[in-house]
Structure 1
């Protein structure tokens, strides 16, 4: 399916898996977690998308107060997580909504499509939680903690989980090859030191490049037009 956007988005990374998207004066934030600069990411935000319940993707101690303080702020999360959040959200509960797989909706001036349904397996002894990947404006894909490839859309920008307890470098490379984006920005890299970052950048950038993907690491607070 061809992408259709009236105007470009500005993408800014705020550490680990958190990104802020801006377009036409509206702001959408994805995965403001404990490894991220949540305050900066949420400043002036219209909406928040959460891929799953793990703390590095959702800092409830900061996000729930932000919801309480801004009566216009809306949050979408996988249904079991959304239900849990509503229990402690008071008057903000009506603005915490379920994100379900294979859905499409408009949010804060952006189009959103949802993919997947579950977190990648870490270990058989660790329960698998719900995970929703989000395609924004049919152009940018944030998969959360999964390697689910979106169907019926050719995204131009992929936010690739670069490192996690549930993955290995070969799977990261294969995910980039399967999605076939034009641009790749790594996320989910908060557990790596500079040596690890350089190793992952080298592998994913080199092999992704063979399939037409340009790879760039963004420092926290640095933005790009996508």
Structure 2
């Protein structure tokens, strides 16, 4: 499976001619990531994880595209689209197949930012028993071994210690960054040095991916 990292939280997965995109948000190169996709998985409603105009345009232009998202996101997209049958609400704890990929869902809610900021639904996605994208949460998939972990390395809702505990808890052999669009090079260097060093103690090899950089996983 080919994994391409886009700016911030978006990744594109390609396998056997099929394309699945996770979290094409407004901080990412969404239109580019969505080109030729047959499936989109959205973790939650925040704009840095879903560029609604770009997703709606892709649905209009690509009759093979399906979108899976938490109920609130799916409902909002259906109201603005005439292809409601290709927009699906998902909950945590389910399995489904889409566009040649197998998907399992985890979690349920966004990490707490502040008591005065409402908590929204958040779904983490495990694709083909391999790549896990947690969205804006540190939910640890239960009962499975993650092979490739996408790590939210910086967010308004987290601190470095929580990032490290997440990496330690999942213990995936490979880890790559997501949710890094707000970091400058100084901040990135501090966080990644800790993740690289401490992750290695628990069997996790962490590597940075630049926007549009791709790896086989």
Equivalent positions of 1:1-226 (< 5 A) are 9-90=1-82, 92-226=83-217
* Structure 2 spans left out of the alignment, 5+ residues: none
Name the CA distance, whole Å, in 2 between partners of 1:81 and 1:47: 15
Cα deviation 1:157-185 (Å, max 9, x = unaligned): 10000000000000000000000100010
Name the CA distance, whole Å, in 1 between partners of 2:61 and 2:28: 20
User: Per-residue deviation at 1:33?
Assistant: 0.2
Name the CA distance, whole Å, in 2 between partners of 1:200 and 1:107: 34
Contact 2:111 / 2:138 at 8 angstroms: preserved in 1?
Answer: yes
Contact 1:14 / 1:40 at 8 angstroms: preserved in 2?
Answer: no
Name the CA distance, whole Å, in 2 between partners of 1:71 and 1:186: 31
Runs of 4+ in structure 1 off by over 3 angstroms are none
TM-score by length of 1: 0.95
Contact 2:107 / 2:124 at 8 angstroms: preserved in 1?
Answer: yes
Name the CA distance, whole Å, in 2 between partners of 1:225 and 1:65: 29
Q: Per the alignment, in what secondary structure is the counterpart of residue 192 of structure 2?
A: helix
Contact 2:36 / 2:62 at 8 angstroms: preserved in 1?
Answer: no
Name the CA distance, whole Å, in 2 between partners of 1:50 and 1:118: 13
Equivalent residues, number: 217
Cα deviation 1:114-155 (Å, max 9, x = unaligned): 000000000000000000000011111000000000011101
Contact 2:105 / 2:124 at 8 angstroms: preserved in 1?
Answer: yes
* Structure 1 spans left out of the alignment, 5+ residues: 1-8
User: Per-residue deviation at 1:14?
Assistant: 1.0
Contact 1:33 / 1:57 at 8 angstroms: preserved in 2?
Answer: yes
TM-score by length of 2: 0.99
Deviates more, 1:60-69 or 1:157-166: 60-69
Q: Per the alignment, in what secondary structure is the counterpart of residue 153 of structure 1?
A: coil
Q: CA RMSD in A?
A: 0.6
